[in-house]
Structure 1
Amino acid sequence: MTSQAKRVNAKPSLKIGIVGGGFSGVALAATLCRLADQPVMIHLFEKTGCFAAGEAYGTPFPFHLLNVRAKDMSAFEEDPLHFLHWLTANQAAQAMLDPDISPSEQFVPRVLYHHYLQDVLAEISGAAQATITLVLESAEVIDIERTSHAAILTLADQRQIQVNQVVLALGNHAPSAFPFPVSPQVQTIPNSWDYTALSAIPKTATVLIVGTGLSMVDAVLTLHHQQHQGLVYAVSRHGLLPLPHTEGCVPFDLTALPTPSDLLAFSRFVRTQSQLHMKAGGDWRSVVSALRWHLPALWQQASVTSKKRFLRHLLSYWNIHRHRIHAKLAALLSHLRAIKQLKIMSGRVKRVVNRTVEIQLRHAHDSLHMEVDWLVNCMGPPLKLSAMQQPLVQALLQRGLATPDDLEMGFAVSAVGALKSREGDVSDWLYTLGPPVKGTFWECSAVPDIRKQSLQLARHLCRHE
């Protein structure tokens, strides 16, 4: 299905295909439209047909909140208050806000952000620029080839579309498959973002959630709002939960401090500065928020060995401090644990036989055996590019148009996001942004990070003839 948003009066000199219609794709398309000073045609592909949503903003439930304050959620790096202005001008949005808290400081429902991104797309369509064409393609791109004069995108319906430049705005991939055998007697939900499947869980069922991060929080919230009465267990290697945001943190000033020299020094630096800042009346959250902007440069300088050590020993701890949740959500988790409806465990699932799950608890010799009715996958996206079963990713790797980064977490790319081939050549027509560059830049999945990448990449693309 194709939807043409606007036609050009002149033949476009630049045709760009953006694969992925979630935040990354929408932000890039919108930024390109703002910057373009030549006739441009943009094909925006989204296999689900639901544009401006992605996994993060596709939830239909108002109790799933953003994990970043509204003041930091603009889609545009050069227009940082764009979302806040939209929020305060939208009457329907106003009805979903807390009247006692400034809109800029609120963690608004994610469904509201989906509506915002839809309006960003509509803004492109209605802009008074006769040089821009936006074509929305409800189709999956399964392969890309390069000829002497164009890039050819093959769709799942076997149509082929020619463009000059291609950007992979793939977002987060579906969770990894369970790494243990599961018997058919247990109902499984392979992806916790499948809200229809979650709604089918009986209220009295015993549920085991594999993973204790942000996806687990969403799943527990969904069950809670369905008046779930059965026991809910959640297990992960460390059993750590996302920490809560807090209000009114004293800012942390980095200007007079030396930059850590490596990732191990960075972790010590964060811990030391947090302790000092807290003694001075501050909060560790301010330290993490300030230092996270320095991590990408440090990450790129670090050795592969140092990065692997960070991933093995520090990743879980960094994630719970860096990717925080609203305080009221943390309070709900604490309440559910206090009344014994939610139990968090540290360990790993070894197998599921009949309805019995065997869990090897951390720091314990014996395994725990427990009966469950449902198993929910909240393990997060795979950390290995080769494990991503998306046909396009596999096709690019097989063709040699793309190659994994040194950690094999995503694509090997240049500073601007140009993919490197199997031979190490930097592409002048194939790019990516967002989660696929995590192995190279690390901090790349939050809205403030992606919009920076969008602006940088849009400026680069607009220079192409």
Structure 2
Amino acid sequence: MFRKVAIIGGGAAAATLVSELLERRTTQPLHLYWYTGDGSGRGIAYGTRSPHHLLNVRAASMGMFASKPQGFLEYAQAADPTVSGSDFLPRRLYGEYLESRVAQAMAKASASGHEVRQIPFTVDSLVPEPSGVTVGYGDESNQTDAAVLAIGSLPPRSLPGVDADVIASGRYITDPWPFLANAEPDERPLRVLVIGLGLTAVDVLLDLSERWPNATFTALSRHGLLPEAHLSAASAPAGDGAELVEALEDDPNIRMWIARLREATEHADDWRVVTDSLRSVTSKLWTLLPDEQRSRFLRHARWAWERARHRMPPQVAESIAAMEKAGRFLRGRGRMQTVKLADDGSLSVTRVKPGGVKETASFDVVVQTVGLNTDTLRTEHPLVRQLVTNGHARPEALGLGFAAQANGALLDGDGKPRPNLFAIGTLLRGALWESTAMPEIRVQARNLADTLLRDQG
């Protein structure tokens, strides 16, 4: 087993792995070095304080541990017995749950002889060797047996076509989360453009529409479609979906898969039942696809899958619909081409509409919400750049994080798995695809804990 383990990251994935390790019975005490940076274990998703930001998974499925999937529901019901397992609860409550479970694990750690050092610094470098991993931060370094990257998604980059003076103006928001955390109430009739129409865009719209009551919002995306909504009541598939899964496994081809899914939804009471029946096997199906088919999926079908798979709670969908009905929110199709700073200080945005027609409009604020950045080859993240530049880790071929094995072991520059360098969470999308939500993160944490604590002999 690896006795000395470095865990890099201050978000939910790191907190889950730390807690999972400390919950285990081990033959020898563990020494965990948890480099949290400026995080507290909540991460971006669960660090929000806005009451409008709800979990997109029902309470009954959000437990921190794979062995206790209803742990969060029990926590919520202890404070409010009226909470049901089908509720979509505030993300800030989930952040409190994570913190409480980490505190419990820490309290147990000392009694079991484990040592946990929370180090509030950002790791600058990782140097894996056969004998261990050197972790560098500032002018300090530690020698550990193994290291785990749990840093979440990479810092977002501004889209091509955005002028430098636009970024300098502070009116183009590349990263919406720090912006939302500090946005002040404003009564002006602001014109706001949101680029992207995923769940983050929905969060931005709900939060800013309350803080800026006289603002109007426009959202621009390729298809102009919002995420789908969950059903008001939880539903379960009529069968176990085994026949559909077997058909997909027999022919790992995106075009055939789409045809199979369409056929299955035609015979289901609701299409969501079909989508949800695949959740537990999505990563397995992803591993069957050759790179050419994965690339085809990303180009042609990813947007549709994301809309169906990552859905809005019903009450959120109702709020967005009310904004549209009131005329405060408009959706547009197309691609942003350029953003320029006009003489009056506004932002002049040119988009290319379907069919190639260009249209230019002025906005006071533009917020970019185009999804998670997982491109480890082009990122400015210092630690990721160090790993890639020095050949310690290899970028995934399609820009989906790091090249890795299914157990999280990172591949080196020659494509060989590192025995002591791992990742968990978002940067494993290339290996697992479904790698961002807590139901998947907790399974990764359980499996990675098994690997780290297994006899290495």
Normalised TM-score (structure 2)? 0.91
Report deviation, 1:216: 0.5
Please give the alpha-carbon distance, in whole angstroms, between the structure 2 residues aligned to 1:214 and 1:274.
23
Structure 2 residue runs without a partner (length 5+): none
| Contact 1:177–1:190 (Cα < 8 Å) also in 2 | yes
Q: Could you say which residue in structure 1 is the equivalent of 2:33?
A: 43
Question: Aligned AA for 2:237?
Answer: P
Query: How far off its partner does 1:305 sit?
Result: 1.1
How far apart, in 1, do the equivalents of 2:356 and 2:442 lie? 47
* CA–CA separation in structure 2 for the residues paired with 1:229 and 1:351: 26
Matched, 1:81 2:66: no
- The alpha-carbon deviation at position 163 of structure 1 amounts to 1.0
Give the C-alpha shift of residue 306 in structure 1: 0.7
Report the equivalent of 2:195.
Answer: 210
1:5 corresponding residue in structure 2? none
After TM superposition, the structure 1 = structure 2 runs for residues 438-449 of structure 1, keeping only pairs within 5 Å, are 438-449=429-440
Among 174, 191, 212, which residue is 1:190 paired with? 174
2:273 equivalent in structure 1: 286
Change (3 A) 1:383 1:123: closer
Provide the aligned length of Structure 1 versus Structure 2: 440
Output the CA distance in 2 between the equivalents of 1:188 and 1:84.
Answer: 39
* Counterpart among 145, 153, 162 of residue 164 in structure 1: 145
* Letter paired with 2:36: E
CA distance in 1 between partners of 2:412 and 2:234 (Å): 47
Alignment match, 1:317 = 304
Q: Does the aligned pair in 1 maintain the 2:34–2:116 contact within 8 Å?
A: yes
Q: CA deviation at 1:319?
A: 0.4
CA distance in 2, matches of 1:326, 1:111: 16
SS in 2 for 1:351: strand
RMSD: 1.9
The answer to whether structure 1 residue 349 and structure 2 residue 336 are counterparts is yes
Matches within 5 A, 1:415-454: 415-454=406-445
Structure 1, unmatched stretches of 5+, are 1-11
Q: CA deviation at 1:386?
A: 1.4
Q: Where do 1:125-164 residues align within 5 Å?
A: 125-127=106-108, 129-147=111-129, 149-155=131-137, 157-164=138-145
Alpha-carbon shift at residue 350 of structure 1 (Å): 1.3
Partner letter of residue 235 of structure 2? Answer: C
Counterpart code for 1:322 = R
Shift of 1:464: 4.6
Report the counterpart of residue 159 of structure 2 in structure 1.
Answer: 178
Matched, 1:461 2:446: no
| Aligned residues of 2:73 and 2:84 also touching (Cα < 8 A) | yes
Q: Does 1:30 align with 2:19?
A: yes
In 2, are the aligned partners of 1:201 and 1:374 still within 8 Å (CA)? no
Q: How does 1:56-455 map to 2 (within 5 A)?
A: 56-89=45-78, 91=79, 94=80, 99=82, 102-127=83-108, 129-147=111-129, 149-155=131-137, 157-182=138-163, 183-184=165-166, 187-194=171-178, 195-199=180-184, 203-246=188-231, 247-253=233-239, 254-257=241-244, 258-260=246-248, 261-262=251-252, 263-277=254-268, 282-353=269-340, 354=342, 355-455=346-446
Check conservation: 1:14, 1:464, Cα contact below 8 A: no
DSSP-derived class of the 1:318 partner: helix
CA contact (8 A) 1:346 1:362 kept: yes
2:127 alignment partner AA = E
Deviation at 1:357, TM superposition (A): 2.9
TM-score in terms of structure 1 length: 0.90
In structure 2, C-alpha distance between the alignment counterparts of 1:31 and 1:301, rounded to whole Å = 29
Say which SS state the counterpart of residue 344 (structure 1) adopts: strand
CA contact (8 A) 1:175 1:378 kept: no
Higher deviation after alignment, 132-141 or 357-366: 357-366
One-letter code aligned to 1:187: R
| Range 217-226 or range 259-268, more displaced | 259-268
Contact 1:19 1:141 in 2 (8 A): yes
List per-residue Cα deviations over 1:399-443 (Å, max 9, x = no partner): 111001232321111221111100122111100111111011111
Letter in 2 for 1:52: G
**Which secondary structure does the structure 1 equivalent of 2:323 belong to?**
helix
Q: Secondary structure at the match of 1:212?
A: coil
Aligned AA for 2:24? Answer: L
Change (3 A) 1:364 1:71: same
User: What amino acid is aligned across from residue 136 of structure 1 in structure 2?
Assistant: Q
- Deviation at 1:13? 7.0
Alpha-carbon offset, residue 202 of structure 1: 5.4
Q: What secondary structure, in the 3-state scheme, does the structure 2 residue paired with 1:293 have?
A: helix
